[in-house]
């Protein structure tokens, strides 16, 4: 089968969606399919630019390439699903969240002017039209599927995908808590730092980079964490696998995350995950007292929970092993079989 995986690309940015789409292409090829990545830059500001950039996808002709038919297109993010194709199988990582649940939050893009309000509605209308054209509609998590249904009335099939391939292993339960995230406000690394400030025995390693880094580093300095919070920046795959292998537990508490690969990665290293009651997608795999701990998004609660894991390493290991059993069920074989069925 000849497939095009579609990915909007913010130049110079790389995150979970990029890893997912790159891996999907590789996995399709490994199964004998002819697959390629079709990518276009995406900019969502100022003003109506979000719509005109989205419209670029509508102008593409991906019915065939170089005289040969493209059997299936697989759009993965807004606005790639605006593309026209007779077999459009959307596998949605997320919609344009600023038009939905992030509206009127501190992460909002659209203001209160009539033009901004109308712009937001136009984005929603695009979703309704373009997702409604899909021959199959998949969502990477129940959380994403729920948002699609709430915003468009369309029912999406839940189709999770495995995390990136690393040398996952467990080398015990060390003295530090690991955070793996792009550093932006929605990931709430600041809550973790505040928790560390409350427990002098807590150490954290913060892997990842992003626009919130300097603020977070300043916060760590202000709280006098004095080396107990180490900002590792963007780490190599080998370093990341090593951090997963040695950490006590993984902190992952974004606001209403779509799905989140980090819990599955932590589980594959047999590590428990600490998340929050409002984290969204992670709650589909992190169960309190089973594969990790779930607390309210409060620094004291987080400090207490991490302290408990430090004092109960047998339970932490047990949670990690239970998580591994869940993560091991999410395979590319199953995902691709369903995508192409």
* Residues at the contact surface with another protein, assessed by CB under 8 A: 47-49, 51-52, 55, 58-59, 82, 84, 112-122, 124-126, 129-130
Residue 220: CB minimum distance to another protein, A? 40
Q: Contact, 18 vs 7, CB < 8 A?
A: yes
User: What's the rounded Cα separation, in Å, for the pair 303 and 221?
Assistant: 18
CB-neighbour burial class of residue 132 (10 A; exposed 0-12, middle 13-18, buried 19+): exposed
Taking the complex as a whole, the smallest distance from the CB of residue 168 to another protein amounts, in Å, to 42
Question: Quick one: 19 or 60, whose CB is closer to another protein?
Answer: 60
Nearer to another protein, 151 or 290 (CB): 151
In the chain, where do the E strands start and end? 2-9, 34-41, 64-65, 68-69, 72-75, 89-92, 136-139, 157-158, 176-180, 203-207, 229-233, 249-251, 273-276, 292-295
Nearer to another protein, 132 or 211 (CB): 132
CB of 83 to another protein, least distance (A): 11
Task: State the minimum distance, in angstroms, from the CB of residue 54 to another protein.
Answer: 8
SS3 assignment for 26-53: HHHHHCCCEEEEEEEECCCCCCCHHHHH
| Cβ-based nearer residue to another protein, 52 or 277 | 52
Which is closer to another protein, CB of 104 or CB of 312? 104
119 versus 159: smaller Cβ distance to another protein = 119
Q: How far apart are CA 279 and CA 143, in angstroms?
A: 10
Of 168, 231, 212, 200, nearest to 310 (Cα)? Answer: 200
Distance between CA atoms of residues 162 and 326, nearest Å = 11
Q: Which is nearer to another protein, 81 or 267 (CB)?
A: 81
3-state secondary structure of 171: coil
């Amino acid at each position: 089968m000849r497939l095009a995986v579609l990915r909007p690309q913010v130049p110079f940015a790389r995150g979970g969606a990029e890893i997912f789409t790159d891996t999907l292409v590789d996995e399709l090829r490994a199964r004998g399919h002819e697959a390629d990545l079709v990518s276009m830059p995406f900019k969502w500001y100022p003003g109506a630019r979000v719509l005109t950039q989205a419209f670029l996808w509508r102008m593409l002709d991906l019915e065939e390439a170089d005289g040969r038919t493209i059997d299936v297109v697989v759009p993965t993010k807004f606005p790639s699903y605006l593309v026209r194709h007779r077999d459009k199988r959307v596998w949605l990582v997320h919609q344009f969240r600023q038009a939905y649940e992030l509206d009127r939050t501190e992460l909002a893009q659209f203001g209160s002017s009539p033009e901004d309000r109308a712009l937001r509605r136009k984005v929603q209308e695009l979703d309704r039209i373009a997702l409604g054209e899909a021959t199959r509609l998949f969502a990477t998590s129940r959380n994403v599927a729920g948002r699609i249904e709430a915003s468009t009335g369309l029912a999406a099939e839940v189709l999770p995908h495995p995390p990136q391939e690393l040398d996952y292993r467990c080398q015990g339960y060390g003295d530090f808590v690991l955070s793996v995230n792009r550093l932006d406000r929605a990931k709430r690394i600041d809550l973790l730092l505040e928790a560390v400030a409350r427990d002098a025995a807590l150490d954290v390693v913060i892997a990842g980079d992003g626009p919130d880094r300097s603020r977070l580093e300043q916060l760590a300095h202000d709280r006098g964490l004095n080396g107990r919070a180490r900002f590792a920046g963007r780490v190599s795959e080998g370093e990341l696998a090593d951090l997963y292998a040695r950490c006590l537990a993984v902190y992952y508490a974004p606001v209403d995350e779509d799905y989140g690969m980090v819990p599955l990665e932590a589980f594959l290293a047999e590590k428990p995950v600490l998340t929050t009651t409002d984290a969204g997608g992670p709650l589909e795999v992190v169960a309190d007292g089973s594969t990790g701990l779930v607390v309210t998004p409060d620094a004291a609660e987080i400090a207490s929970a991490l302290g408990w894991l430090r004092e109960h390493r047998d339970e932490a290991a047990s949670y990690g092993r239970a998580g591994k059993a869940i993560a091991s069920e999410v395979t590319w074989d199953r995902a691709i079989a369903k995508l192409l069925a």
